[in-house]
Amino acid sequence: MSSATEKHAAQYLKRFMSGLERRNPGEPEFHQAVREVAKDIVPYLEDKQAYKDAHILDRMTEPDRVIVFRVCWVDDENNVRVNRGMRVQFNNAIGPYKGGLRFHKNVTLSVLKFLGFEQVFKNSLTTLPMGGAKGGANFNPHGKSNGEVMRFCQAFMTELSRHIGPYTDIPAGDIGVGAREVSYLFGQYKRLQNEFTGTITGKGLAFGGSLIRTEATGYGCVYFAREMLATRGDEIRGKTCVVSGAGNVAQYTAEKLLQLGGKVVTMSDSSGYIYDKDGLDEEKLHWLIGLKTVRRGRIHEYAEYFGCEFHEGKRPWDVPCDMAFPCATQNEIDTADAKDLVANGCSLVAEGANMPSSIEAIDVFQDAKILYAPAKASNAGGVAVSGLEQTQNAMRLSWTREEVDENLLDIMQKIHAACVEHGREGDWINYARGANVAGFLKVADAMLAYGVL
Ligand code: NDP
């Protein structure tokens, strides 16, 4: 690219972002997610007049619609409680809206818009026909009884059910929405609609769920890391791995790393992280999964039970490692964390969580030319298997574990290949750019074909 074109792209990016920030005040996470994409797409579009004339990027950064609703329920002490439910239906150019539901005290419209926007690109990368959406509520499931969670989920679905359907919008889980919540949500949807369709994914195996869905995001993330290592003739066996989070994504990232010979030394939750110098093994991981999904305990209990270090209120990024897998939440790696990782020898970061690295942290990884996989590529395995769950529901049959796992691996390899195709810069691969361009193209081409909508 000539320096004049580069200058023009930089000026356009500045104008574009200031317009977006003005139109969406007080939404820092959404601004961040768009900036991360726009810094690659704006220069890419410099010589592509058709996309520019159709204002595709402006249209892709405006959600199709946002639904906001009141959720009223009664707690165990008979108090009336009020939460805010939301669904951001971002873009359905290439398929029905698809994306998870998050129940967390910090859920805001900004968070759901960033997640919905990312989901559009991620779903496009999976090669499956899925649009992007995200939803949730500022409801904190921590410390709530099963009855309270059930009543909240039923109240939430009573309104959401008007806006979703197997050909319209198919929600799934995310932070705070696991197997228990998905079951309550699906049960209520089925009751209200009087129909049994695969409108929610992540369902239990007894009622339309897919094998491997629980494991898919974590497994897919490790499959992606394995592909990246292979470009350097390297492998997972023997590598020391730092994992954050202790929820669904972290658990199955750790499991696959162990299966492939990696050494996992940390896990975390919002209270801090454990550092197990000897590494987790299958038995310890099984215990941790029980702690988190059945007993719903805190991570320090692992340290007490197995006798290892617990670092209260801290994140694990200063622990020396070969590879890092952030699997907890957004913006959990800042510039200083990224510098610590690189200085301590980390040569691969694969994002399991959505947007766990700040834009400046990504710059640190890219300047150091380490292998860096952005979430929209490396954590797409979850939604990919959700797509396969929809296919099985529509066909009214269930595939075997091996069949689904094979499909998952195939999809992760295709995503990797697309990132390499669009992200190669000399002998280095800019996976972030590759994922942004590859994800953009399919959606943009569909939007161009529809005319002005
Ligand atoms: P879970 O609710 O199962 O687990 C979330 C984990 O992250 C918990 O250990 C939680 O700790 C921790 N966490 C949450 N908020 C914070 C915080 N502010 N600081 C530190 N730790 C925190 O969620 P998932 O594993 O499903 O999701 C994790 C990430 O992966 C999210 O970014 C999600 O969007 C992304 N993702 C999930 C997919 C899926 O299939 N589930 C698919 C693609 C992406 P605590 O229990 O203390 O809150």
Beta strands in 302-370 (DSSP E): 309-312, 323-325, 348-350
Tokens at residue 287, please?
A: 């215990």
Ligand 1 mean position, distance from CA 327 (Å): 6
Ligand 1 mean position, distance from CA 353 (Å): 7
- Residue 3: band (very low, low, confident or very high) from pLDDT cuts 50, 70, 90: confident
Could you read off the pLDDT of 239-257 as tens digits, one per residue?
Answer: 999 999 999 999 999 999 9
Ligand 1 mean position, distance from CA 88 (Å): 19
Task: Judge whether 134 counts as a catalytic residue.
Answer: yes
**d(C-alpha 419, C-alpha 231), whole Å:** 12
The residue from 98, 113, 122, 134 that is catalytic is 134
Most informative mutation of 139, 248, 285, 386 for ligand 1 (most atoms within 8 A of CB) = 248
**d(C-alpha 119, C-alpha 219), whole Å:** 19
- Residue 2: band (very low, low, confident or very high) from pLDDT cuts 50, 70, 90: confident
Tokens at residue 193, please?
A: 């609609």
Asked if pLDDT for residue 207 goes beyond 80, the answer is: yes
Percent of the chain scored above 70 by pLDDT? 100
**d(C-alpha 206, C-alpha 423), whole Å:** 42
pLDDT confidence of residue 193: 97
43 lines ligand 1 (CB under 6 A): no
Q: Where do the domains of the chain lie?
A: 3-61, 65-196, 216-378
Asked if pLDDT for residue 4 goes beyond 90, the answer is: no
Asked if pLDDT for residue 224 goes beyond 90, the answer is: yes
Contact (Cβ atoms closer than 8 angstroms) between residue 350 and residue 330: no
Question: C-alpha distances in angstroms, 365 versus 119, 320, 358, 370, 415?
Answer: 23, 16, 11, 6, 20
Report DSSP letters for 103-170, one per residue. Answer: E-TT--HHHHHHHHHHHHHHHHHTTS---EEEEEES---TT--HHHHHHHHHHHHHHHGGG-BTTTEE
Calculate the average pLDDT of the chain: 97
Tell which residue, 141, 117, 143, has the closest CA to residue 131.
Answer: 117
pTM, to two decimals: 0.97
Other Cβ atoms less than 10 A from the Cβ of 168: the count is: 14
Could you read off the pLDDT of 304-361 as tens digits, one per residue?
Answer: 999 999 999 999 999 999 999 999 999 999 999 999 999 999 999 999 999 999 999 9
329 lines ligand 1 (CB under 6 A): yes
pLDDT confidence of residue 5: 87
pLDDT confidence of residue 13: 97
Most informative mutation of 253, 270, 310, 376 for ligand 1 (most atoms within 8 A of CB) = 270
- Give the mean pLDDT of 357-382: 98
Ligand 1 mean position, distance from CA 211 (Å): 21
**d(C-alpha 438, C-alpha 367), whole Å:** 22
The gap between the terminal CA atoms of the chain, to the nearest Å, is 32
- Residue 374: band (very low, low, confident or very high) from pLDDT cuts 50, 70, 90: very high
Fold for domain 216-378?
A: Rossmann fold (3.40.50)
Helix (H, G, I), strand (E, B) or coil at 261: coil
Q: Compute CA 97 distance to the chain's CA centroid, rounded to the nearest angstrom.
A: 15
346 lines ligand 1 (CB under 6 A): no
Shortest-distance atom of ligand 1 to CA 315 = 20
Percent of the chain scored above 90 by pLDDT? 98
CATH annotation of 65-196? 3.40.50.10860
**d(C-alpha 337, C-alpha 316), whole Å:** 9
Could you read off the pLDDT of 415-450 as tens digits, one per residue?
Answer: 999 999 999 999 999 999 999 999 999 999 999 999
- Residue 61: band (very low, low, confident or very high) from pLDDT cuts 50, 70, 90: very high
pLDDT confidence of residue 1: 75
**d(C-alpha 104, C-alpha 436), whole Å:** 28
Could you read off the pLDDT of 127-177 as tens digits, one per residue?
Answer: 999 999 999 999 999 999 999 999 999 999 999 999 999 999 999 999 999
Contact (Cβ atoms closer than 8 angstroms) between residue 85 and residue 69: yes
- Give the mean pLDDT of 187-202: 96
Tokens at residue 350, please?
A: 């694969």
